[in-house]
Structure 1
Amino acid sequence: MTEEINKCIEVLENGGLILYPTDTVWGIGCDATNEEAVQKVFRLKQREDSKALICLVANDAMLEKHIEKVPDLAYDLMDLSTKPTTIIYDNPRGIAKNLIAADNTLAVRVASDKFCSYLIGKFKKPIVSTSANISGNNTPNSFQNIDQAILKGVDYVVNLHREKQNSSASSIIRLSNDNTVKVIRE
């Protein structure tokens, strides 16, 4: 796993794209602080850059570094969730501008997968995580179902967990600073 993490970090530091197994589905990732890298993800997915992407962090400390104020309720939601949960927060900071939604929000998930946690922790920056599909196509539930255009469009494909099957996307919850909660995707 260390060799895979080091290869990913080299690609990420150079503004490249990785295809990697997350705590949910296979994802396309890049340095979430690099606008050019984020733009490459939008181009590869053939997705409008007005559609926000998810960002993964390694731990609560990294979350707090990139969100102006993490509501206390967020920690309860993460602790009580039975599956990986992405939370949309107000007022992100230190993130590529084209990753931030028009309403000044950012979707963030604290990675629960060992590989992702180690990778992001060693990289020391958040990583974009978006499903490995062309926008509008179904999310692949296994590595074998990933479109050739995606496989060819990234700079590095992680050689771990390729047999992982039947993964599902995370829950998405919008949590405003006034503690208003809205379920976007269960």
Structure 2
Amino acid sequence: MADFIKIYEENPNQKEISKVVNVLKRGGLIIYPTDTVYGLGCDITNIKALERVARIKGVKLEKANFSFICHDLSNLSDYVKQIDTSVFKILKHNFPGPYTFILPGSKNLPNPFKKRKTVGIRIPNNNIALDIVKTLGNPIISTSIRDDDEIIEYTTDPELILEKWDNLVDLVIDGGYGGNEPSTVIDLSDGEPILVREGKGSTEIF
């Protein structure tokens, strides 16, 4: 049975955030709100937790397209190769926001992702997600719980999310109704922006 915690986005309660972080530190999986859709995530440094997420999504961990939720751009240097000023400006201008930017991965990526040439980075405009990552001290991985074949409420209504995911995850955060539009994905790994998926974020940055 998953825990169910209500956290308000306007002013997240630090005590509740700490409970979430303790679950992550123990290798637990959480479902949490972002500025787009609810996400399924775990601590990126915990291999067993990463493997659980990959199993749920039906993918091999090494091939999984998980993005990293960071608190701010200071996390970047840990996981991303040196980027030029124009790329940094795009990131600074659009984060926090509903974007996933694909960037060249560094040699410091967690073990399962070592062979990856690129990494997807998210800094969502959502205080709950940002506070979790800040308190944890490193990014969490993110993969959407959205399913095109499913009734929308099961990915937007926290109580129905709990009903569906109760036996698969350790904790579901009720951060209010979620959206149903994913992030806009832009590949910046070669310096020039390439639109991979149009989502909630404006494509005006081109």
1:127 correspondence with 2:144: no
Q: Deviations over 1:4-58 (max 9, x none)?
A: 2111111111111111112221111101122221111011222343231111000
**Which stretches in structure 1 are left out of the alignment for 5+ residues?**
none
The one-letter code matched in structure 2 to 1:124 is G
Q: Determine which of 38, 58, 65 is the counterpart of 2:78.
A: 65
1:44 correspondence with 2:56: yes
The one-letter code matched in structure 2 to 1:22 is T
CA contact (8 A) 2:158 2:172 kept: no
**Farther off after superposition, 30-39 or 149-158:** 149-158
CA spacing shift, 1:179–1:153, aligned 2, 3 Å: same
CA spacing shift, 1:30–1:95, aligned 2, 3 Å: farther
The one-letter code matched in structure 1 to 2:104 is D
CA contact (8 A) 1:133 1:146 kept: no
- Could you tell me how far 1:93 is from its partner in structure 2? 4.3
| SS state at 2:167 partner | helix
CA contact (8 A) 2:36 2:179 kept: no
| SS state at 2:177 partner | coil
The one-letter code matched in structure 2 to 1:5 is I
CA contact (8 A) 2:158 2:177 kept: yes
Count, aligned residues: 181
TM-score normalised to structure 2 length: 0.76
1:88 correspondence with 2:115: no
Aligned to 2:165: 150
CA spacing shift, 1:185–1:105, aligned 2, 3 Å: same
- Larger radius of gyration, structure 1 or 2? 2
1:97 correspondence with 2:107: no
TM-score normalised to structure 1 length: 0.83
CA RMSD in angstroms, aligned pairs only = 2.5
Aligned to 1:172: 185
**Which stretches in structure 2 are left out of the alignment for 5+ residues?**
1-12, 199-206
Q: Percent identity?
A: 26
Q: How far apart, in 2, do the equivalents of 1:72 and 1:115 lie?
A: 29
CA contact (8 A) 2:66 2:141 kept: yes
